[in-house]
Amino acid sequence: MGSRADINVEDVVARKRAHRQACIPQEWLLSESTVKQYAAHPIQIFNSRLVEQVLTPRDLEITNTNEDATDLVEHIHSGRISCLETVLAFCKRAAIAHQLTNCLSEIIFDSALSRARELDQVPASQRKPLHGLPVTVKDSFFIKGYDSSIGIAALCDRPAQTNSMIVQVLEDLGAVIIAKTTVPQTMLTADTDSVVFGRTVNAYSGSMGAAGSTGGEGALIAMGGSALGFGTDGAGSVRMPAFVNGIVGVRPSGYHFTVDGQPILGRGVCGTTQLGPTTVAGPLTRSVRDAQLVFRLFWQARLWERDPMLLPSPWFNLSLPSRLRIGVWADHDHVHPLPPVARAFRLAQQRLAAAGPHIELLPFVGPSIATVWSLQKEFCQLLDLRYLKGLVAMEGATEIVRRTGILYPPESTTKSQMSVLEQLHDLNFQIMALVRGMGKAWNAHGQPLDAVLWIPAPHPAVPFDEYTDLTFTALFNVIDWPAIVFPTGDFADSKLDASTDGPVAEEDLFGDEDRRVQSLYFGHEESFDGLPLSVQLIGRRGQDEKLLAIASKVHDIIKAR
């Protein structure tokens, strides 16, 4: 199709959506009335007998979300379940998830089932660690023979010629990739909506966003349609979909997981240069121990020997200190947490405090975060976005792309009089100030902390096109520290939350963004009921294995029982 300057966007979109629909077997389609019945709360279909329109009791047993990928691998290796019945069950459940949340971009069920049949013939002695495990990846990762359109019409019908390294390692470990998942147009937003594939909705509420840019992955795993997934995180793109959908998501330290094998959208944008905050690849999982499994296996694969951009990342099987020192970052200067988020954070602290002498909670007074998101956006705007803007111009920008203000900064944005080189120096100076401030706070109690507990955002999932400030996750891309989000097991409850937290007084608001976030909730409290709540745990740069070990222990304590 040449330069694609003359593409008919409507034709491309119609063809792409029709092909996707045709990849779902007719017998796996829910009735129209069932789709309509569960559109408001997709995940609730699994509490209904109507799910048996597609899933057998055996399918439900295999895809049960009370078990994780670690369990599934053990069941497959023991012979309790076959690769074929496992992959088939997950393909069917992914089809259900897609019909209710619009989470899949490329459906690979047929080839996945063929691979599962082959894997069942492999002798037990030759089986790999993830043998037969059904997994998914974000649309941006190359899979040979399939598009990586990232929801842009001009990038459709350009199947990848090779696998990305993440995909290749997953397959080398024995995993079976069953689908690619939706991302927002440009991947530079926190709400998954595109011209090509449409909007992906939250697993818990069809009127709330799935976040982004790994939004399809977040919704799918929450719905039980994948055992684990991979995304990328440039400002929270793994962690935001994880927390709004109630699953686990990890942002590793930079240069430990390869991002090789994705569309290059401009110098410094999924490209080969790195002039500012790091974009990383990371897993979305059902449990913290699944994240540990992924890190261990990938690091044991010695990816740094294949990708010259990576740092060596040996897995040490670390032992934790007998007494963990965890900082609690309760106060900051950007946006007051909404009542459900504040309650979940308090409950997490209370449960840790009650866990006994092996955990010590200490106040953490971090640096100002008021300019973090604007700093991140300034870096993005210094990158070469001309190619990406040209692609979007052919089809028109989605509302969330316009509102986020990266591709199209507000006209009121003051143009710097500094050269680009001077701006880069200035922005990196600001990053170093944040790093120094975090380091000072980390060591403020005489001995270094082991981790810091924080919120992943001041809100749970929000209505469409409203997730436009990424400060609480972007901070750790800016300073390149690892972070993990995981659910507390608590859910938004307007009646319960009204009894403990009320509106913030006008004079106490930090500014316009704080006022905007408060207005999303107050007056609409009941629309947030039932949304999952999470916390974020932070580690020091390069201490990913330690962070995951702490997270495993902490999550076991704080998750509501």
Question: CA-to-CA distance for 171 and 142, rounded, in angstroms?
Answer: 13
Catalytic choice (16, 92, 105, 138)? 138
Q: Which of 283, 228, 326, 360 is nearest to 550 (CA)?
A: 326
CB–CB of 325/450 below 8 Å?
A: yes
CB–CB of 236/477 below 8 Å?
A: yes
Question: CA-to-CA distance for 453 and 537, rounded, in angstroms?
Answer: 5
3-state SS assignment for residue 527: helix
Q: What angle do CA 490, 493, 499 make, to 5 degrees?
A: 110
Catalytic choice (149, 164, 237, 534)? 237
Q: What angle do CA 301, 304, 309 make, to 5 degrees?
A: 145
DSSP H helical segments within 39-159, as ranges? 57-63, 69-78, 83-101, 109-120
Question: CA-to-CA distance for 82 and 413, rounded, in angstroms?
Answer: 58
Question: CA-to-CA distance for 377 and 404, rounded, in angstroms?
Answer: 9
Which pair of structure tokens corresponds to residue 519? Answer: 């207005």
Q: What share of the chain is helix, strand, coil (3-state, %, to 5)?
A: 40, 15, 45
Q: Which residues contact 321 (CB under 8 A, 6 or more apart)?
A: 450
Q: Which residues contact 141 (CB under 8 A, 6 or more apart)?
A: 148, 164, 166, 167, 180, 230, 261, 262
Cross-strand partners of 463: 208
- Concerning whether 213 is annotated as a catalytic residue, the answer is yes
Question: CA-to-CA distance for 418 and 422, rounded, in angstroms?
Answer: 6
Alpha carbon 463 to its chain centroid, in Å, reads: 18
Catalytic choice (105, 213, 226, 534)? 213
- Concerning whether 138 is annotated as a catalytic residue, the answer is yes
CB–CB of 236/473 below 8 Å?
A: yes
**Active site members:** 138, 213, 237
